[in-house]
């Protein structure tokens, strides 16, 4: 059996290695925690952006259904960016045009409740008057200086806004 040699204190070459290993382990662990925090932040931003797009899709579909219910007055369903329709009460019988304006007012109010600060735009297709474009534009603070890409004819998305648009044939 071999006997282990003991070194006199102060002459050991491995003095302090335990502390160095602990520091390296803490550094690696800190980087891992920071990476997880970064990933958590990116996930939260992506969820918020996806939630806005989901709300926009629901709101556009809601307006398309309102138009289908009042097909006789499709030309009354028009909004420019920033335009707010007047409040109309159609609880009593009203004309189809008034019904369309009441729909626009109720819908823009719902848009503002679900997505505050969002702008709306409804326009007729230049090639087919029975195709109606419905668009929503909102600022996405996570995507600064965003430019609209490939807008359809008749749609000029406001600068630095995300736009969600659909052509429907009610």
Closest CA to 132 of 140, 119, 121: 121
pLDDT at 31: 93
Write the burial class of residue 134 (CB in 10 Å: 0-12 exposed, 13-18 middle, 19+ buried): buried
pLDDT in tens, the chain (170 residues): 566 666 666 555 666 778 888 899 999 999 999 999 988 888 877 787 788 889 999 999 999 999 999 888 888 999 999 898 888 888 788 888 899 999 999 999 999 999 999 999 999 888 787 789 999 999 876 665 444 456 666 678 887 788 888 888 87
Across the strands, what pairs with 136? 120, 164
pLDDT at 68: 92
Closest CA to 58 of 4, 114, 104: 114
pLDDT at 67: 92
pLDDT at 7: 60
Q: Which residues contact 104 (CB under 8 A, 6 or more apart)?
A: 77, 79, 85, 122
pLDDT at 145: 44
pLDDT at 148: 47
Q: Which residues contact 128 (CB under 8 A, 6 or more apart)?
A: 169
pLDDT at 65: 94
Q: Write down the pTM of the prediction.
A: 0.71
Across the strands, what pairs with 138? 162
Closest CA to 138 of 99, 109, 170, 111: 111
């Amino acid at each position: 059996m071999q006997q282990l040699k003991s070194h006199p204190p102060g002459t050991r070459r491995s003095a302090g290695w335990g502390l160095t290993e602990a520091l390296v382990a803490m550094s690696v662990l800190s980087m891992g925690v920071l990476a997880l925090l970064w990933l958590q932040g990116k996930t939260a931003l992506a969820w918020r952006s996806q939630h806005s797009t989901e709300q926009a899709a629901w709101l556009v579909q809601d307006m398309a259904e309102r138009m289908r219910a009042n097909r006789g007055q499709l030309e009354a369903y028009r909004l420019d960016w920033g335009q707010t329709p007047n409040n109309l009460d159609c609880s009593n019988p009203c004309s189809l045009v008034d019904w369309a304006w009441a729909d626009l007012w109720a819908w823009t109010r719902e848009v503002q409740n679900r997505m505050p600060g969002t702008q709306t735009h409804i326009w007729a297709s230049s090639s087919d008057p029975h195709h109606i474009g419905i668009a929503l534009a909102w600022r996405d603070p996570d995507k600064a200086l965003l430019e609209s890409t490939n807008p359809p004819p008749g749609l000029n998305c406001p600068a630095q806004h995300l736009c969600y648009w659909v052509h429907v044939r009610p």
